Amino acid sequence: MKHLFSRLSPAQKIILSFLLVIFCGSLLLSLPWVQTASSQAGYLDHLFTAVSMVCVTGLFTRSVVDTYNVWGQLLCMLLIQIGGLGILTFIGFFTMESRKKLSLKDRRILRDSFSYGHNRTLGQFVRSIFITTFTIEGLGALLLMIRFIPKFGLRKGIFNSIFLAVSAFCNAGFDNFGNDSLLGLQTDVLVNITLALLIITGGLGFMVWFDLATKLGGKQKGLHFHTKVVLLLTAGLLVFGTVTSLWTEYNNPGTIGNLSFGNKLLVSFFQTVSMRTAGFASIDYTAARPVTLFIYLLQMFLGGAPGGTAGGLKITTFLVLLLFARKEILGLPHTNMGRRTLSPQLVQKAFGVTVIFQLTFLLGLLALGLVTDSSHRFIYLIFETVSALATVGVTANITTSLNTAGMIVIMLLMFIGRVGPLTLMVSLNHYQPKNAATLHYSKADIMIG
């Protein structure tokens, strides 16, 4: 078995690690002693929950609080944490801490799972992930305790704060409040801002943290180009989403129309942050206007930064496509940004990821439309499909009504969205023709545009 595992490609190891955690998690969640006495969940519900937690999505067919007791919720937190950081991170951390050396192939797997491009400080990088993660989650939990201890009591307040902090930082979108998610805390400034900061931090990507920490520690003069781009794009998309959401829902009494301006701004900002793959709901999406749902769809589709806990296409991938389009429109010889030139290989990879992501979305939407109740509005089916594939976890009240086939479709979309469509395709690609790199055929004349 060990020899067989060592022969797997890095992409296959990443996928297999997630599958093993999901399967073990579903079996553990099925145990009677981790469930509430009133739980009505079957194995498929537990499997769906395990997939959603390990893939840090947030969709569920049975709510956490109605299905799992304290022990079950502790297990849920563990699955979310493993899903957010990746099981290979835990394996790599404990291997290095036990003074064992990782092979070059294993180091490559770790780098690929985080989009990490440096070799010398991989051990320091992995350790910093754990230190930063637990520090930020701990600070977030402490802030949430200010609100939740008076609300729920000491023990439950502390537990709920930790659960929500872990879920937010990992961009999972799970809470242990019930089916209404955060609707009851819609205008709570402390809770909303704390969760928003946790979500944003988790969605920036581990490389960005590492770079910022190195800069603040005085070990380097400036930030890497990737970090600057991610911070700029994140800020721009948050402003765009907040303003457009506020504009389209301003007078809608079903969402924010009856709130004060300050609370309208707060809810619009939080929903924009949440749509970046977190999945916490502070409004009823069935009451939102179609144009608002379309804006949310765009935000979900783009997702966060690579190498972190966020999903989606990734904002840097979208930027590369825009820069290439600009290059083609203006007839420029190279794809440039500022005083930097993007390599043709990078542009090709961005196109490959986008095409596979879009095809997966279209096939998933078609499958979901074929197997679910035809009474659902089509925009809600699109909403559900993008939410699953981008590992966001919001729903227009469709998830709980899914049949078995629909649950399977959503589980596949969540899994593909977490490991990445391109990673999945690479892991399945065993065919490699001889001398493929040197083959060159006659030109194909195909008209486009």
Which candidate, 436, 425, 351, places its Cα nearest to that of 11? 425
Mark residue 182 as left, alpha or beta (left: phi above 0; alpha: psi -120 to 50; beta: remaining). alpha
pLDDT mean over 178-206: 88
DSSP conformation class of 100:
P
* Tens-place pLDDT, residues 109-126: 555 555 555 544 556 667
Q: CA-CA distance, 117 to 11, in Å (whole number)?
A: 16
pLDDT at site 279 = 83
DSSP-derived 3-state class of residue 130: helix
Question: Which residues are within 8 A (CB) of 11 and not within 5 positions of it... i.e. 6 or more apart?
Answer: 112, 423, 424, 426, 427
Do 407 and 48 contact (CB within 8 A), yes or no?
Answer: yes
pLDDT at site 119 = 44
Amino acid at site 439: L
DSSP-derived 3-state class of residue 397: coil
Residue 353's pLDDT band (cuts 50, 70, 90): confident
Do 413 and 360 contact (CB within 8 A), yes or no?
Answer: yes
Token pair of 57 as six digits: 């999505």
Rg (CA), the chain: 22
Q: What are the respective helix, strand and coil percentages of the chain, to the nearest 5?
A: 65, 0, 30
Global confidence as pTM: 0.87
pLDDT at site 4 = 59
* Tens-place pLDDT, residues 258-267: 999 999 999 9
Token pair of 394 as six digits: 């919001």
Q: CA-CA distance, 273 to 242, in Å (whole number)?
A: 9
* Tens-place pLDDT, residues 132-162: 889 999 999 999 999 999 999 999 999 999 9
Do 145 and 155 contact (CB within 8 A), yes or no?
Answer: no
Token pair of 334 as six digits: 């190279």
Question: Which residues are within 8 A (CB) of 174 and not within 5 positions of it... i.e. 6 or more apart?
Answer: 52, 53, 58, 60, 64, 76, 80, 163, 167, 279, 393
Tell me which long-range contacts 41-44 makes (C-beta under 8 A, separation of at least 24): 41/67, 44/404, 44/407
3-state SS, 53-67, equals: HHCCCCCCCCCHHHH
Q: CA-CA distance, 356 to 130, in Å (whole number)?
A: 32
* Tens-place pLDDT, residues 278-333: 889 889 999 999 999 999 999 999 988 887 777 888 899 999 999 999 999 999 99
How high is the mean pLDDT of the chain?
Answer: 84
Angle of the 70-85 helix axis to the 122-152 helix axis, nearest 10: 150
Which candidate, 306, 313, 291, 305, places its Cα nearest to that of 361? 313
pLDDT at site 120 = 46
Do 316 and 301 contact (CB within 8 A), yes or no?
Answer: no
Q: Select, from the ranges 13-27, 32-46, 367-381, the one with the highest average predicted confidence (pLDDT).
A: 32-46
Question: Which residues are within 8 A (CB) of 177 and not within 5 positions of it... i.e. 6 or more apart?
Answer: 65, 160, 184
pLDDT at site 306 = 81
